[in-house]
Structure 1
């Protein structure tokens, strides 16, 4: 028994090392060149290789743990492989469940590559890369490499079962081996369940399957009736899911935020444009003030006023800065709106699936109500209701991740907007403010904006000369009584 157990331990460790080597070869020979040379579309790379990096990191962790266990106990009889695998179960489940749920899409994509419709440049790339495998691995092509993680995770329970057969029940690691073997079987079951959920989700996202128009109309009518019964309290037991309600509300809020943010960015761009264009109105108004002091209509006399040169400087700089600010604001606005459109496109499929989930929930509750009466629901309704748990579980698993990434994405948009707003402020203040600081009024003293406001308030206080003049102008009498005197 000891010799047999030693062989099984050696097989587990050796095959894990070889498996890790194959994963590294897959990345080196196919993934990296495909990305660097842009030989495959980005979407194809995602479908084919998924979270391969995470799978490689997990395989490295497993190999390291196994080698540590062997180093601590050279005697195969004393090597605690059960506790070793127990320590890496969580990362194994996380990495392989994610990888395996895309397996069918990966197989379909590989099928496209061998079809006559496949572009010749892709075929040439795969053929050239395949030649690099000779002498490095027993795998012969891309397909035989990408399937290895699926094969490996399903082989773990088989290897452990063989190890348990050759391990005495009194062995200190026996109970742990049994526990790990059962947990690996649950992982395999979970992977199948995740794949099943994804197949159901893909059916509705990609609108696969036949469409029965009459059946579809009937479903809408029955679901509408069920919804009305639930809202009026006439329905029986209603399925409640507080976790989904919370998660879906958070996701829905983010989808709404995107629409609001697009509107606000357009308003911001419009406000920036109006603000900088108003600088021309400021110049024209100040020019009119200068003209009021002229005895003739000849604007060339403005040259008699040295401070008028400052006004010309202001106009020139304001025109230059305004064109830059408007251009940069429009460019940023277009970019941010495009980013938000991309995010809206990402939201589209989950929102569709959420709607489908709510429809399936009505069918689910209706089936329960029918069975509670001792009756048998029709097969179409029963099949539809059976899809509710899978769709609901998929949404609960993935909506929080999407919401989190959407929050970071929107935060990045806010950062870009705030940086641009700060840049605009600096452009205006650093360029235009020094010109005003050099301006002088009356005695030639330099005035700041605060000084001007204080002088204005003093000049127009109640009882001042300006008020007396305003009260004597008939056209201003009504305004003077209602506004000024208040």
Structure 2
């Protein structure tokens, strides 16, 4: 015999039937609207168990015309934004309604059956909460996107077809109505549980679970509502065309949307009242500082401002660096041409292929690398930096709005409501402030972490562009070096020799000026001529006579017809004992013939010598033989020469008019007793005693 359904049993049945109907709505979205919106023709069954025959005609309908023009009714991005996580919600609800049927059991025929709906909800809420929060978070934007879709022919056909199909088994005849079902269902759960609790006796074993489930569902609903409210406030601030301003800037009121954020307080709130709120806020400064959320938001706001300054500075400095590299290459070109004119020893119409190749690299190959680098910065780095700055606009505006509403909020907290009731607009403003503060406190840390990663990406990109620039410059220079195939050390030596050969006399004349001598007197002997115009000649302490020079070590035998003077290249001003290597008498050197030339006497002051040597082997070079515009001395035994500079082994000088072998020797720049400057070989000399 069937037992009559009690009032409590009816509430349980209402829960079950409403859940089944809700599942049909979700399945309609998942298995009908979503695949058809994507242009698919096959869709899953949207009919729950036991009801398939009622809707058997659905599978007979053709949907060929939905995408007749080759384009689906919605793009993939539109489908994802509009339907959100509806597929996950439908899957969860299918399982939940099945579990709910088991939890209720056959209580209509068995009065002793004990249902466990409360226990089921406690198990399902942890799974349900994130799904509904994720859906509610984007519900407003999904509806807005649907309303903004272009009404293409395929989209119009989609709306008509889905409306006909949906009306067969649902009272929600359009897509927006179906998209609102999850939010509606979430608000129904607490009411249904409350109705069941009211009809459940205290002795029922599941009543405690029902009461706890009701409290948790209320909490979930409240949190979702508060989050949605905060997001609405954020959206209103960001989309508002009004300029957010404080009363201190002379703006009393700012128009706000109806039932949304009141940024300035409505016109009913006078300027004097706002000033009193501001004063109250100032009096409660310690309360504001004690508010951890407000303090944290302030600190994060300062950090965000520093990020903004850094990004803008990086953009300016990166372009400035690119311009400086281009200017550097232009300066290098100018310097190379000027230096070439200074050291070039050939005639003006005699070109140098190596030097021309060097100029071509500087003029034709390096500037395009600079232009390419700047274009890369402009096309790759600057757009990324601009996008980072653009993302900072929204948080900065939200914080500005929060700080604008802050005095009004704290003014309301300390307002004596016994004397006057606050206007509704002020209460709404206070709620908006709390919503903004909560949302900023929740999301700013994540945003700052992401913006920090974005800046790191920009810095790495700038580093990559710089590295590519320097690699390209090095590649061009390496190709030039490999093409010329010259000895770098020899090339440097030739350049130095050309410089000395052209300007050694100029330096001697400059050093003979009285103003130069006065400068030397102030600097002292330690400076000497070390900082001369060309730094080509090293000067010791005041000139020494033959008798005052200490005797150096004896010379050692050489391996060939010439010798090498063993003096360290780093001889200082006070080195008075340069060591020479003694050798036996050399053979007469063979000179290449040269044009006749008169030995020239240096004018001006006598350059102090590094040390003095005495001729031990005579040598008479051909008449007119010279090197770098200086003659070779005719050497006679016991003649004394002051050594001005050691020029290295003769083989290092390719254009030296002297045939030499591989033996040890050294070309010396010397001065005789008459003051003439010329060349001698170390193999014919020995240090003076």
- Note whether the superposition's TM-score is higher than 0.5: yes
Q: Give unmatched runs, 5+ long, in structure 1.
A: 114-118
Name the structure 1 match of 2:132: 96
Residue of structure 2 in register with 1:225 after alignment:
279
CA separation of 1:201/1:429 partners in 2, compared to 1, >3 Å: closer, same or farther? same
Distance 1:26 1:427, change over 3 A: farther
- Shift of the 220–132 alpha-carbon distance from structure 1 to 2, 3 Å rule, reads same
- How far off is 1:11 after superposition? 3.8
1:182 equivalenced with 2:227 (yes/no): no
5 Å-filtered alignment, 1:234-383, equals 240-295=290-345, 298=348, 300-303=349-352, 305-306=353-354, 308-313=356-361, 315-344=363-392, 347-348=393-394, 350-371=395-416, 375-376=419-420, 378-379=422-423, 381=426
Distance in 2 between residues matched to 1:381 and 1:253, nearest whole Å: 31
1:131-170 correspondence runs (5 A): 131-133=160-162, 134-135=164-165, 138=170, 139-161=172-194
Aligned residue for 2:84, secondary structure, equals helix
Kept in 2, the 8 Å contact 1:160–1:177? The answer is: yes
Match in the other structure for 1:419 = 464
Counterpart mapping for 1:420-439 below 5 A: 420-436=465-481
Answer yes or no: is the 8 Å Cα contact 2:278–2:411 preserved in 1.
no
Could you tell me which of 23, 27, 40 is aligned with 1:21?
A: 27
Cα offset, 1:318, TM superposition: 1.5
Distance 1:225 1:160, change over 3 A: closer
The answer (yes or no) to whether the contact 2:84–2:135 under 8 Å persists in 1 is no
Paired with 1:102 and 1:391, the residues of 2 have a C-alpha distance of: 18
Map residues 39-50 of structure 1 onto 2, 5 A cutoff: 49=82
RCO comparison, higher one (Cα < 8 Å, 6+): 1
Deviation of the 1:357 alpha carbon: 2.5
> Which residue of structure 1 aligns with residue 487 of structure 2?
445
Q: Is the 8 A contact 1:439 1:447 kept in 2?
A: no
Contact preservation (8 Å) 2:193, 2:214: yes
**Length-normalised TM-score, structure 2:** 0.53
Instruction: Say which is worse superposed, 72-81 or 269-278, in terms of deviation.
Output: 72-81
Distance 2:71 2:461 in 1: 31
Provide the C-alpha distance between the structure 2 equivalents of 1:61 and 1:229, rounded to a whole number of angstroms: 52
Match of 1:396 among 441, 448, 455: 441
Q: Which moved more, 1:150-159 or 1:56-65?
A: 56-65
User: Which residue pairs with 1:116 in the alignment?
Assistant: none
Is the 2:274–2:408 Cα contact (8 Å) retained in structure 1?
Answer: no
Aligned length: 452
Counterpart CA distance in 2 for 1:308 and 1:108 is 68
Whether contact under 8 Å (1:291, 1:302) holds in the other structure is no
User: Aligned pair in 2 of structure 1 residues 437, 247: CA closer, same or farther (>3 Å)?
Assistant: farther
User: Residues 283 and 311 of structure 1 are in contact (CA less than 8 Å); yes or no, is this contact kept in structure 2?
Assistant: yes
Could you tell me how far 1:16 is from its partner in structure 2?
5.6
Q: Contact conserved, 1:62 with 1:85, CA < 8 A, in 2?
A: no
> Aligned partners of 1:209, 1:162: CA distance in 2, in Å?
38
Cα distance in 1 for residues equivalent to 2:276 and 2:75:
44
What is the aligned-residue RMSD (CA, Å)? 5.0
The alpha carbon displacement at 1:249 in A equals 2.0
In 2, Cα distance between equivalents of 1:204 and 1:60: 36
Deviation string, structure 1 residues 343-382 (Cα, Å, up to 9, x no partner)? 24xx34x33332332343323333333439x644543655
Q: Following the alignment from structure 2 to structure 1, what is the Cα–Cα distance between the partners of residues 297 and 448?
A: 9
Q: Structure 1: how far apart are the matches of 2:198 and 2:101?
A: 20
Query: Aligned equivalents of 2:362 and 2:346: distance in 1?
Result: 24
Do the aligned partners of 1:291 and 1:297 also contact (CA within 8 Å) in 2?
no
Aligned residue number for residue 225 of structure 2:
192
Gaps of 5+ in 2: 41-65, 108-112, 243-255, 259-264, 532-689
